[in-house]
Structures are given as C-alpha cells and as structure tokens.
C-alpha cells in the first residue's frame, strides 16, 4: 500500500509557542478567577492559555504583555453509550459566533468550526467513551491523549487507546495533552501543546492547530521528526524510551540503558558520533525502520519520570 507522509510542525517554519488548551476558572467550576489563571500560566513560562469554562465563554480583564489568552468553551452535552455526557471543547471562537449550549455533540463541533475554532473531544477515558461513541460523531480535530486532572484524581487521564482505535479505522484525529486545570498548582502546568506558528495571536495559533502544526507533552520535548519512505527519525530531550505506534502487532520501541531493548529501531547517531546517548545513558533520539506493514504512525517519547510527549499522525498507508 502506498505511504502518505502527513505534514507536521517539524516540517513547518515559524516560532514555537507552548500553551494550555483546557483550563477552568471561577466562571464555572474552577477555583481561581480568570485574571489569576492567566497570571499563573504566564509566570509558569507558558506563551498562551485558553480559558474553557463549562458552557460559557469567559475572559480575563487584563493580559500580561507578550502573553495570549484564547477564547474557548467546554460544552457538556448529549448522552454516551454509558449514559454519560460528551465533553466537546472549542478554542479560538470568534465573539458572537459561539455554539449555543445544549445543542447535539455534532452540532456543537460544526458550530465551533463555523466560529473559526478548533474542536476536540475531552478526556475520553475519564468519560467512559466507547469506540462507538467516538465514531458516532465526526469532524472533530483531536482528542485528549493526556488529561492531568483526570490522571491525578482517578488515574483515568491517558486515552491513547481511544486515539489508536480511531486511527486504525481511518479517522485522522490529533493528539492533545491538557491540564483541565481547576486548582492552582495541583493540576496546572502539567499538560500542554507546543505549536509552530508565525506569530502569537489567536488566529495564528488556531490556524496552526487546525493544520496539525503541534505536538503534545507532559514533560519531554521533541526537537525534530523526519519521515522518509523507509524510516522515521526522532530527536528529543533525554528520555527513557521512544516508541513508534503503528497499528496492531507492528511498530517499534527503543529503550535506554545498557540493557535497553530495541525492536525495529536503533539509536540516532549524534553529531559527535554518540548513538543517541544523553545523561545517565538516556536516549536523545531514535531511528525506526518501516516494514511496509504499518497502517499509520505516531511517536511517543517517555522520560525517566514517566512523563511523555506525543506527535499526532505522521504516516498513513491507504
């Protein structure tokens, strides 16, 4: 089957901006007001934050110079197979064009796009969403593979299997890491996206998200990903393991350490000849050999503290 290489942030030009896409304030069920929430992320070194209160759009009264606050909303709507609600988040909503609360999940997704925004499904694992639930709606841009508060509270923050269930069925859905923050410190500054955009403005950030020019992280940094017909090459901050997720029974993984394993992968040779070795023999890169059996491809980088970074879709065979 022919291989399609999906353009991503590492092939693009522009600046890198780190931001939080899912955050709550006292305008819904958060514990700190919008202005203080914005200051928290600014002081934490973030470049932007999207305020996504439940079923309403909130905004700070002031924003620090050089920082960006993006208009957003989390819509709690519909009913899933397990009689829970869908949580659909939209950011970059143009004033006066936001979807009305209480519409169906699909109407909400379409309304977010009509308002110029980026739409995704929040915390699928926490919500108990099934594959049937996720296939019943369409045209969402991404889903949360990592949600900090869901992981911290009940250990249901990782939704990678939901993403893979969609990718193997041909859905082209991006991967996000978010805080879903409700409190200072406890669940803040733990999950983010790194976006490649030409400027720090709402329109530029949202356009980059819609174009897939981002990766997600709860810790590691991904510096470069290069894809050819035969290999996927990854450069990253020092880490414990790098995986190519590519469908049932295929893919590859490289682990750090003298006894670290390698399956269809090798260490990336560094500039001075070292084979992707960082401090304490951690990895700083990997090269995965493509076999021709991959149905899709995405990369996960894991550090020694158990944190991870995720690319969105890199390749598709059709």
Of 182, 214, 246, the position where a domain reaches its end is 214
5 within a domain of the structure (yes/no):
no
Q: Are 259 and 193 contained in the same domain?
A: no
* 188, 127: one domain: yes
Instruction: Please identify, among 183, 214, 245, the residue that sits at the C-terminal boundary of a domain.
Output: 214
Same domain as 233, residue 204: no
Beta-bridge mates of residue 87: 76
Q: What is the pLDDT along the chain (318 residues), one digit of tens a residue?
A: 799 999 999 999 999 999 999 999 999 999 999 999 999 999 999 999 999 999 999 999 999 999 999 999 999 999 999 999 999 999 999 999 999 999 999 999 999 999 999 999 999 999 999 999 999 999 999 999 999 999 999 999 999 999 999 999 999 999 999 999 999 999 999 999 999 999 999 999 999 999 999 999 999 999 999 999 999 999 999 999 999 999 999 999 999 976 667 888 888 865 444 444 444 579 999 999 999 999 999 999 999 999 999 999 999 998
pTM over cut 0.75: yes
Residue 254 inside a domain? The answer is yes
Identify whether residues 201 and 268 lie together within a single domain: no
Count of domains forming the chain: 2
Indicate whether 140 and 267 sit together in one domain: no
Distance CA 239, CA 156 (A): 23
For residue 172, give both structure tokens: 């082209």
Instruction: Tell me: do 248 and 159 sit in the same domain.
Output: no
Give alpha helix (H) positions in the chain: 34-43, 105-114, 124-127, 131-136, 148-154, 160-167, 202-210
DSSP string, 138-163: ----EEEEEEHHHHHHHS--B-HHHH
Render 98-152 in DSSP notation, one character per residue: PPPTTS-HHHHHHHHHHTT-EEEE--HHHHT--HHHHHHS----EEEEEEHHHHH
The parent domain of residue 33 ranges over: 14-214
In eight-state DSSP terms, residue 273 is: S
- Residue 252, C-beta contacts closer than 8 angstroms, at least 6 positions apart: 243, 244, 246, 263, 264, 265, 288, 289
Query: Would you call 205 helix, strand, or coil by DSSP?
Result: helix
Domain end point (choices 214, 243, 260): 214
């Amino acid at each position: 089957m022919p291989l399609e290489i999906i353009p991503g942030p590492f092939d693009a030009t522009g600046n890198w901006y780190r931001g939080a896409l899912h955050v709550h304030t006292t305008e819904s069920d958060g514990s700190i007001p919008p202005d203080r929430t914005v200051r928290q992320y600014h002081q934490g070194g973030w470049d932007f934050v999207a305020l996504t209160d439940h079923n309403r759009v909130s905004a700070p009264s002031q924003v620090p110079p050089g920082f960006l606050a993006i208009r957003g909303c989390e819509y709690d709507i519909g009913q899933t197979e397990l009689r829970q609600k869908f949580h659909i988040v939209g950011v970059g909503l143009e004033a006066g064009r936001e979807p009305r609360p209480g519409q169906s999940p699909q109407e909400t997704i379409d309304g977010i796009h009509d308002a110029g925004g980026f739409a995704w499904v929040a915390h699928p694992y926490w919500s108990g969403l099934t594959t049937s639930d996720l296939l019943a709606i369409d045209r969402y841009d991404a889903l949360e593979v990592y949600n900090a508060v869901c992981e911290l509270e009940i250990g249901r923050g990782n939704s990678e299997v939901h993403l893979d269930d969609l990718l193997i069925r041909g859905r082209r859905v991006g991967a996000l890491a978010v805080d879903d923050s409700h409190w200072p410190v406890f669940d803040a500054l733990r999950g983010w996206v790194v976006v490649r955009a030409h400027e720090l403005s709402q329109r530029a950030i949202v356009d980059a998200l819609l174009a897939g020019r981002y990766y997600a992280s709860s810790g590691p940094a991904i510096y470069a990903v290069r894809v050819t017909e035969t290999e996927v090459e990854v450069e990253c901050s020092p880490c414990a393991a790098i995986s190519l997720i590519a469908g049932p029974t295929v893919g590859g993984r490289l682990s750090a350490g003298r006894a670290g394993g390698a399956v269809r992968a090798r260490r990336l040779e560094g500039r001075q000849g070292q084979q992707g070795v960082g401090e304490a023999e951690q990895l700083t890169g990997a090269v995965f050999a493509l076999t021709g059996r991959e149905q899709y491809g995405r990369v996960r980088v894991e550090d020694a503290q158990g944190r991870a970074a995720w690319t969105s879709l890199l390749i598709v065979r059709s």
